[in-house]
Amino acid sequence: GAVVSQHPSWVICKSGTSVKIECRSLDFQATTMFWYRQFPKQSLMLMATSNEGSKATYEQGVEKDKFLINHASLTLSTLTVTSAHPEDSSFYICSASGDRYNEQFFGPGTRLTVL
Amino acid sequence: QQQVKQSPQSLIVQKGGISIINCAYENTAFDYFPWYQQFPGKGPALLIAIRPDVSEKKEGRFTISFNKSAKQFSLHIMDSQPGDSATYFCAVFGGGGNKLTFGTGTQLKVEL
């Protein structure tokens, strides 16, 4: 399958600061990227869907002003958690797909801890 | 509304045994049913997937059984190995929404 990377793999930040997480598709052009959040021992919850060059579509209940998503190229999408708070601590996972949204390739995840 | 229900929540199987995880869904418009394997601290990886026009798909030790009329599908892991110990998620796709919806997950432990 295709390879998707995330950077950083883990990050610790202070409450009130912003954190940027990168998601890259390394060997294919991803027209669509997805961002998920996973709390300990829970399932993956879709936060937003982003298409290259257009605004992201956020799921109900996800604050778009808090979780800024940019999909500037076919290989890179970024998620910025603004004014992070301890309740934002979670495992953030991105996935990338081509034309077939059902065939998503997942990144290794980023562990965010907000102190 | 939970679109896909997964059971059991956890499962312990002896090495060499068969692990069976079940999922049930409501929306008959779903048209893609994948299973993912996730190790601690890692992203999920696609194991095997099926479309509703077939009742069974086998890849190595992994088999999906699909019952369209009952709106259920299951993952069977034959000859389970300690290396299979992970969390398994079923998912559904389609039904008008271009997104994967995941089940609640099953934590599998394969004991020696």
DSSP letters of B41-104? TS--EEEEEE-TT-SEEEETTEEEEEETTTTEEEEEESS--GGG-EEEEEEEEETTEEEEEE--
Output helix, strand, coil percentages for chain A, rounded to the nearest 5.
5, 50, 45
Distance, CA of B75 to CA of B35 (rounded, Å): 7
Strands B72-77 and B62-67: antiparallel
Confidence grade of residue B71 (pLDDT, cut at 50, 70, 90): very high
Confidence grade of residue A38 (pLDDT, cut at 50, 70, 90): very high
Is the model's pLDDT at A113 over the cut of 90? yes
Q: Which residues pair with B5 in a beta bridge?
A: B24
- Inter-chain touch B100–A111, beta carbons under 8 Å: no
| pLDDT attached to residue B72 | 97
- Inter-chain touch B99–A44, beta carbons under 8 Å: no
Distance, CA of A85 to CA of A19 (rounded, Å): 11
| pLDDT attached to residue B65 | 97
Is the model's pLDDT at B97 over the cut of 80? no
Distance, CA of A48 to CA of B1 (rounded, Å): 19
Distance, CA of B107 to CA of B112 (rounded, Å): 16
- Inter-chain touch B105–A42, beta carbons under 8 Å: yes
| pLDDT attached to residue A96 | 95
| pLDDT attached to residue A42 | 95
A68-74 — which CB contacts under 8 Å span 24+ positions? Answer: A69/A35, A71/A33, A74/A25, A74/A29, A74/A30, A74/A31
| pLDDT attached to residue A44 | 96
| pLDDT attached to residue B94 | 87
| pLDDT attached to residue B1 | 60
Is the distance from CB of A34 to CB of A104 less than 8 angstroms? yes
Best mutation target, A24, A33, A43, A97, to test chain B (most B CBs within 10 A)? A43
Distance from the B97 Cα atom to the nearest Cα atom in chain A, whole angstroms: 10
The predicted model gives A27-37 an average pLDDT of 93
| pLDDT attached to residue B89 | 98
A103 compared with A8, residue with greater pLDDT: A8
Is the model's pLDDT at A10 over the cut of 70? yes
Write the pLDDT tens digit of every residue in A79-95.
999 999 999 999 999 99
Among A48, A42, A57, A113, which Cα is nearest to A79's?
Answer: A48
Is the model's pLDDT at A102 over the cut of 90? no
Distance from the A42 Cα atom to the nearest Cα atom in chain B, whole angstroms: 7
A28 compared with A94, residue with greater pLDDT: A94
